Amino acid sequence: MPTENRTNVSPPDDGRQGRAAAKNHSFLRLVFLFLIIGTATFLFFYFDLHTFFLDRKKAIAFINSFGPGPLSTIIFICFQIAQVLAAPLPGEVTGIIGGYIYGPVWGTIYSTIGLTIGSWLAFLLARKLGLPFVEKVVSTDILQKYDYFMEHQGALVTFIMFLIPGFPKDALCYIMGLSHMRTRLFLAVSTTGRLFGTIMLSIGGSCVRNDQIQALYIIIGLTAVILILTYLYRDKLLNRLKKKRHQGE
């Protein structure tokens, strides 16, 4: 009987090609994100924009120079994003500016938008670039103090650290990016945790603009008490959170 010559043609490995395409897509997104942040960082320091975070009046004049339209709002939101990514910069200043320019309601809304985007970018950068990158933007002391939460993260613990004044919230965004916490959960926890402080800062900025000195003194007094208590008992609180986390495991 004549023998049939059969050629075995293996089907294309769609799964492997799909994984390769996904890797290329992720790489391109990361490069694009890195270019945007790199360009923004260059412009940020080239034009001395970091000085606006140290001079409230200068920042307000700069934002108001774009008029009352949406452009000034976008500039302010970019300010909030930048202060999260540049962790050492004081975020309280931008929160007060938001309340001063836009009032307590819209100041809180615009600040929350900027803080959420900035937190997401910091979290994403840490997740993609890893510990070597985080070590360049977060001080060694903070990393050593909060390294426990990289592997033993919990939504409640993270929420408490974002809620209570005195914790380095912007640095925590990078640190939590090294953990196994999902992005959506992190954004939900960090945004709701920051909300109380954002509201207080926006109200404070509004009080400054409207010369509501008594209300401003009350806010400053409450904030000062919370900060002092947090400073005095922060280490004890961290240790207690760690113990509770150990007991729950």
pLDDT given at position 6: 47
**pLDDT, tens only, 129-171:** 888 888 888 888 888 777 766 665 577 778 888 887 777 888 8
Residue appearing with tokens 């790489």: 27
Residue appearing with tokens 């925590």: 172
And the tokens for 101?
């320019």
Between residues 114 and 65, which one has the greater pLDDT?
Answer: 114
For the chain, helix, strand, coil in percent to 5 are 80, 0, 20
Q: Cα separation of 4 and 33, whole Å? A: 56
Phi and psi torsions of 37, nearest 5°: -70, -40
Give the 3-state DSSP-derived string for 160-181, with helices as H, strands as E and coil as C.
HHHHCCCCCHHHHHHHHHCCCC
pLDDT confidence band for 44 (50 / 70 / 90): low
Query: Is 0.75 surpassed by the pTM of this model?
Result: no
Average pLDDT, the chain: 76
Between residues 62 and 124, which one has the greater pLDDT?
Answer: 124
pLDDT given at position 9: 47
Are 126 and 134 in contact by the 8 Å Cβ rule? The answer is: yes
Q: Among residues 51, 231, 104, 226, which one has the least CA distance to residue 95?
A: 104
Are 142 and 168 in contact by the 8 Å Cβ rule? The answer is: yes
Q: Cα separation of 126 and 133, whole Å? A: 7
DSSP state of 201: H
- The answer, yes or no, to whether residue 1 has pLDDT greater than 80, is no
**In the chain, % of residues over pLDDT 70:** 64
